[in-house]
Amino acid sequence: MINPNLELATFGGGCFWCTEAIFQEVKGVEKVVSGYTGGTVPGKPTYREICSGLTGHAEVVQLTFDSTIITYKDLVEIFMTTHDPTTLNQQGADIGTQYRSVIFNHNDRQKVIAQKVIYDLMNYFDKPIVTKIVPLEKFYEAEEYHQNYYRSNQTQGYCSFVINPKLAKLRRNHADKLKT
């Protein structure tokens, strides 16, 4: 039986490995898929093409979530407070348009909610928020080796030095929204 309360949300907050690891810990999130969207080159892009910065696509995650357990507003707040939404086309050492901070809304309701959350969080940051909100057009699932990356590679250096601190921040700031 299909759950009528399931919705989609799509976020780009730099490397999708980080964003995926964060949302896999959030209660109500049923599925997290790493992928690409927002580009201008037609057809399904490859990771190599994305890394060139020439396709215009962003690394994103697409969530399937149960809106009776977690709200879209809560997801946007988690997204905005677990990456740096004040750096243009960059997250840490990852630089390029593929690492931009972006919310791809699936409908007008999501757009309005995301705008309000960003407005409400403006004073939370020392610099202006540069996160864009744009309608989702086409989502492309990333290659299989990108899926569940953190869970499969926790001892890898990137996971230890980049993802673990973001997860610690998630656990500190959003403990009430995490799976047990």
Q: List, by residue number, the catalytic residues.
A: 15
CB-CB contact of 33 with 86 (8 Å)? no
One-letter amino acid identity for 90?
Q
What phi and psi values does residue 13 have, to the nearest 5 degrees? -130, 45
CB-CB contact of 97 with 89 (8 Å)? yes
Residue count (the chain) = 180
Instruction: Give the Å distances, CA to CA, from 104 to 2, 129, 177.
Output: 24, 16, 22
Sequence-ordered strand ranges (E) for the chain:
6-13, 29-37, 58-66, 90-91, 94-95, 101-105, 132-135, 140-141
